[in-house]
Copies of this chain bind each other. A is one copy, B any other.
């Protein structure tokens, strides 16, 4: 049977079992989501950093340019993150370890904001109004009411699990499909039942365990950047793959060129996990900010992310890759092996993935 046809692709009407990873914090881009959806995969946009109006605007912009299915992604509030506030003394203590970087970049010290992240209730209303083909989420499970509304609106829900237990929790709540996220993945570790550091399972071991644990389509994420990885993930029991770093490196993504070139160069060979940028564990290229800030003390999520976010525009403008978050998965070195160093376009990257996956499946057969 052709590897492109699975229950997951049939249900969504996709030509390819390839989901674009839904980057947050402005790294997603309408151009990229449109290119992936038009190319036969599932284009995605991470909207956790946007308020309701921002989410509606993004959904309209994608819909204006493609009639194909697309995916909006949110972060579920986690351990009180949606209500986090701090008095001035606490805020100053959170800011203290970062003061040197504000000075170095010439950025004025911030004062406490009204909120450290957009209100979740407003975000979820906007996502439901936008009615994407797929609503994906990380760090937990939406309420029963939200999941019921998704069913009424024919929105396919896609939760994220880093353990079989998290997958079972998602299935028990009635979520439609599960992303099994191996520790190879770039960006945030999306664990919600145990601390992320305690459940760092590689995809080879995780994907079949999740496939055994739940009677739902499984999407494999983490460590996949070429067709060999796609074929391997489907062989392990996944019905689709989610590729993050590979699409982040494409020219249509919302990241900056310094980050993109790092993904395609030798720096990408050395990634690590850190809470330095957001207060939650995430994988990126090791740099000075990780080394100097990672050991803590750190503000809690989402305050640490808000604080380091105040540095970001200046770090980017000054091309200071030593102080930026350079999210990157462990498979990034597979992107540049042609040695061309050229920045790919999403359509070309999809074509490469399809050809490689065909070849991988043609190479072996049963005895």
Contact = CB atoms under 8 A, between A and B. Distances in A.
Interface of A: 1-4, 163-164, 182-184, 198, 200-206, 208-209, 212, 222-226, 228-229, 231-237, 269-270, 272, 329-331, 333-334, 337, 354, 358-367
A331 B204 contact: yes
A212 B334 contact: yes
Contact of A202 (B209, B236, B330, B361): B330
Nearest to A209: B333
Nearest to A184: B202
Protomer copies: 2
Nearest to A234: B364
Contact of A331 (B205, B232, B233): B205
A97 B48 CA distance: 47
For the complex of A and B, the 9 pairs showing the least CB-CB separation, nearest first, are: A202-B202, A204-B223, A205-B330, A205-B223, A232-B232, A184-B202, A205-B331, A358-B366, A203-B204
Q: Chain B CB within 10 Å — which of A164, A205, A333, A367 has the most?
A: A205
A234 B204 CA distance: 12
Contacts of A354: 367
A229 B236 contact: yes
B3 A329 contact: no
B204 A233 contact: yes
8 contacts: A163-B269, A183-B183, A202-B330, A204-B233, A208-B334, A232-B233, A235-B360, A358-B366
Of A226, A228, A231, A235, the most chain B CB neighbours within 10 A belong to A235
A142 B244 CA distance: 39
Contact of A205 (B2, B4, B184, B236): B184
Given A204-B222, A212-B337, 15 more contacts: A3-B367, A183-B202, A184-B201, A200-B200, A203-B203, A204-B223, A206-B330, A208-B226, A208-B331, A228-B235, A229-B236, A232-B236, A235-B361, A354-B367, A362-B366
Given A4-B367, A236-B228, A362-B366, A333 B184 contact: no
A353 to B, nearest CB: 12
A272 B223 CA distance: 20
A334 B202 CA distance: 14
Given A3-B364, A3-B367, A232 B204 contact: yes
Nearest to A208: B228
B329 A205 contact: yes
Given A228-B237, A235-B228, A2 B201 contact: no
Contacts of A331: 204-205, 208-209
Contacts of A4: 367
A225 B212 CA distance: 14
A184 B208 contact: no
Given A224-B204, A333-B164, A361 B358 contact: no
A235 B2 contact: no
Contacts of A201: 184, 330
Contact of A364 (B209, B333, B361): B361
Contacts of A367: 2-4, 354, 358
A303 B179 CA distance: 43
Contacts of A329: 205
Nearest to A230: B235
Nearest to A271: B201
Nearest to A337: B212
Contact of A232 (B235, B269, B366): B235
